[in-house]
Amino acid sequence: MNSDTLVSVQNLSRYYGYFCAVNQISFEVKRGQILGFLGPNGAGKSTTMQMITGTLAPSTGQITVAGYDLLEQPLPAKLALGYLPEQPPIYREMLVIEYLRFCAHLHRIPAQAITSAVNRIIEQCGLTSVTQRLIGNLSKGYQQRVGIAQAIIHMPAVVILDEPTIGLDPIQIREIRELIQSLGTEHSVILSTHILQEVQAVCNHVQIINRGQLVLNDTISGLFAQMQTTHLQVGLRRPPPLRVLAQIPGVETVEGQDHDHFRIRHPTDNNPAEALVERAVAGNWGLYELIPEKRSLEQIFVDLTTEQQDINLSHSPKQDTLLSNSSEANFSEKVDIDQVAGLAADRLHQ
Amino acid sequence: MWIIAARELRSLLSSPLAWSILAVMQLISSWNFAKVVELFLRPDIQSRLANEPNAPGITMMVVSSLFSWIGIILLLVMPLLTMRLISEERRNKTLPLLLSAPVSMTGIIMGKFLGLMSFLLIILGMLLLMPLSLLLGGHLDFGHLAAGLLGTILLLGALAAIGLYISTLTAHPTIAAISTFGVLLLLWMIDWTGYTEEQSGVLTYLSLMNHYQTLLEGIFSTEDVIYYLLFMALFLILSIHRLDSDRIQ
């Protein structure tokens, strides 16, 4: 373990009675990593996070935060932690500024640095307009921001956020994502979410947990590689016989879907699209459609979490098209929302 | 630890509950105080006191009775103050903030306890003004007063420690309040059986009020002081363990 490993989790398990919520998880988080923690409901995301933050004791296993064993030296380990639980831990009867000062004290910020730390965090989390209001009277979005502010006020080495963007509007989500990304440059961030786009937008590492077990632990670029095409959707006006298509180098199998639509399967490292186009032009097949089918993150997620612990990448073609269509639709929708949010934000700034 | 105590006190003072308790305490105690002083000043009582060789002084009569009342009223009020200590944190899901902060379990519990104790000291300070007002027209036995005050503080500490422990057991302030009330009442009543049957010395010993009385009479006995300190320590340690086992369960 080198000094840049900020969180190290080894063989972590947690039982609730006989129910095994987390089963033998091991992973490491290094400085500068933003780790997206994905999983369906009840997969053990929150339990794992609670164990890393010391609010829940593990049944077995070892957790090291910033070089300190969480069980043997809890205080220095917790000093390096910032944690936003699922529900922001806010005292409803306190003013925002009082609460933040309290949190600063609680996290051992030296007395002379508190005012500047509180002012900085108010600025960073966009709380300037509500500092003198009771937390209980704030909207959910602002309460969530106060919760985030609380987690990062002492600039901890490890920031753990359990669904941080829940209840926020699109502009706030953008701001919080930017904030998380800026945190990720110097600290490590562990972020649990079930919003897949958030992982794509913010994280550089992804872990998927299902039924208490890690089913995927990869960098986001590794994941994108997994998302590479394995299928081409081809539309031809004057299609040649199937076996001609199958002879193109790189093509593994060809299925005819209807009269002029074909679905070509190919290995990830050998895309026959170029060869296919050349042949189509030469043979005057009337190529009018060529769509690489992309496996979206959503699809990988569904594959990994529904097929029981069995990373089986092949599935029925029909389901595949269906899923990729729906995920594409989701994707474009997400872009729209972001653009709208961006426009709105720009307008606000003017 | 002190930060948690300060926050606890501040949140107590920002709740109407604390202020109404303060007001009710003040009202009842001052009524009682006025009545006792009136009794003390009645001509027939005065003449009888003057004739007795070992007559109780004003400190004995007024202060002891006042503190004794304060003890009983606070026994009734204490569940309301202790009920929210931990259970409300649990209910509002704010406990993770304390648990994930660099504070030990002992720090959390002691912070809560000291926060509540400082509020109780405020109550006591207000109430103490009444016997001190007697200084305008007479003089007090300060040793006696101090013994009574110490006794009250110790009693309150013991009551608060029980309440705190019960508050760590549940996520519902109401349940905590009712259970605390039951336990405190029981500890008070244990004494009564002690009066009727001579052999139940253990029960008498366990009674909270029994040890209080001797201090009110101005007798400073180490035994009583240690009894209260042990009592507090026991329940504080139990609370710490309880909070710790929350993480394991």
Task: Report ipTM for this prediction.
Answer: 0.82
Quickly tell me which residue has 């329940």 as its tokens.
Answer: B235
pLDDT per residue as tens digits for the range B170-202: 888 889 899 998 988 888 777 665 555 555 566
A70 and A49 share one domain: yes
- The CA angle B114-B118-B119, to the nearest 5 degrees, is 120
Q: Do A105 and B10 touch (CB under 8 A)?
A: no
A214 and A169 share one domain: yes
Please state, for a pLDDT cut of 70, what percent of chain A lies above it: 84
Among left, alpha and beta (phi > 0; psi -120 to 50; other), residue B236 is alpha
Which of A293, A320, A345 is a domain's end point? A293
Q: Do A90 and B99 touch (CB under 8 A)?
A: no
CA dihedral sign, ordered A297, A302, A304, A310? negative
Task: Please count the structural domains in chain A.
Answer: 3
Compute the radius of gyration of chain B from its Cα atoms.
Answer: 20
pLDDT per residue as tens digits for the range B104-148: 889 999 999 999 999 999 988 888 888 888 888 777 778 888 888
Residue A314 placed within a domain: no
Residue in chain A nearest B99 by alpha carbon: A55
Inform me whether the C-beta atom of residue B9 falls under 8 Å from chain A C-beta atoms: no
A144 and A160 share one domain: no
Quickly tell me which residue has 């039951």 as its tokens.
Answer: B182
A180 and A81 share one domain: yes
Quickly tell me which residue has 């097949």 as its tokens.
Answer: A285
Inform me whether the C-beta atom of residue B221 falls under 8 Å from chain A C-beta atoms: no
Residue A341 placed within a domain: no
CA distance A149 to A122: 7
pLDDT for the residue numbered A40: 81
A13 and A86 share one domain: yes
Residue A168 placed within a domain: yes
Inform me whether the C-beta atom of residue A109 falls under 8 Å from chain B C-beta atoms: no
A98 and A78 share one domain: no
The domain of A33 spans: 5-93+149-225
pLDDT per residue as tens digits for the range A29-50: 888 888 888 888 778 888 888 8
User: Of B130, B145, B127, whose CA–CA distance to B37 is shortest?
Assistant: B130
A11 and A65 share one domain: yes
- b vs e for A227-254, b when ≥16 Cβ sit within 10 Å of the residue's Cβ? bebbbbbbbbeebeeeeebeebebbeeb
A157 and A77 share one domain: yes
Question: What CATH number is given to the structural domain containing A191?
Answer: 3.40.50.300
A113 and A37 share one domain: no
CA distance B243 to A46: 20
Among left, alpha and beta (phi > 0; psi -120 to 50; other), residue A254 is beta
Residue A61 placed within a domain: yes
Which of A203, A225, A247 is a domain's end point? A225
Q: What is the 3-state secondary structure (H, E, C) of chain B?
A: CHHHHHHHHHHHHCCHHHHHHHHHHHHHHHHHHHHHHHHHHCHHHHHHHHHCCCCCCHHHHHHHHHHHHHHHHHHHHHHHHHCCCCHHHHHCCCHHHHHHCCCCHHHHHHHHHHHHHHHHHHHHHHHHHHHHHHHHCCCCCHHHHHHHHHHHHHHHHHHHHHHHHHHHHCCCHHHHHHHHHHHHHHHHHHHHHHHHCCCCHHHHHHCHHHHHHHHHCCCCCHHHHHHHHHHHHHHHHHHHHHHHHHHHC
A56 and A119 share one domain: no
- b vs e for A165-180, b when ≥16 Cβ sit within 10 Å of the residue's Cβ? bbbbebbbbbbbbebb
Residue A98 placed within a domain: yes
Pairing of strands A188-192, A34-38: parallel
Please state, for a pLDDT cut of 90, what percent of chain B lies above it: 16
Q: Does residue A105 sit in helix, strand or coil?
A: helix
Question: What CATH number is given to the structural domain containing A279?
Answer: 3.30.70
- Give B103 to chain A, closest Cα distance, Å: 7
Task: Please count the structural domains in chain B.
Answer: 1
- Give A109 to chain B, closest Cα distance, Å: 11
A71 and A40 share one domain: yes
Residue A325 placed within a domain: no
Which of A183, A207, A225 is a domain's end point? A225
pLDDT for the residue numbered B54: 67
Optimal mutation site among B7, B99, B100, interface A, most CBs of chain A within 10 A: B100
Q: Do B7 and A91 touch (CB under 8 A)?
A: yes
- DSSP per residue over A163-177, as a string? STTTT--HHHHHHHH
The domain of B153 spans: 2-248
- The CA angle A218-A224-A226, to the nearest 5 degrees, is 75
Inform me whether the C-beta atom of residue A94 falls under 8 Å from chain B C-beta atoms: yes
Inform me whether the C-beta atom of residue A106 falls under 8 Å from chain B C-beta atoms: yes
Inform me whether the C-beta atom of residue B3 falls under 8 Å from chain A C-beta atoms: yes
Q: Does residue A257 sit in helix, strand or coil?
A: coil
pLDDT per residue as tens digits for the range B79-98: 888 888 888 888 888 888 88
A108 and A35 share one domain: no
DSSP H or E segment with residue A326: helix A317-349
What are the Cα distances from residue B34, in Å, to A314, B29, B136? Answer: 89, 8, 15
User: Tens place of pLDDT for every residue, chain A, 350 residues?
Assistant: 445 788 888 888 888 888 888 888 888 888 888 888 888 877 888 888 888 888 888 888 889 888 888 888 888 888 888 999 988 899 888 899 999 999 999 888 888 889 999 999 898 888 889 989 999 898 888 888 899 899 989 888 899 998 888 777 888 888 888 888 888 887 889 988 877 778 888 888 888 888 888 888 888 777 777 666 677 888 888 888 888 888 888 787 788 877 788 888 777 777 788 888 888 888 888 888 888 776 677 777 777 777 644 444 344 343 333 333 344 434 444 444 445 545 555 555 54
Which residues lie below 8 Å from residue B51, measured CB to CB, with a gap of 6+?
none
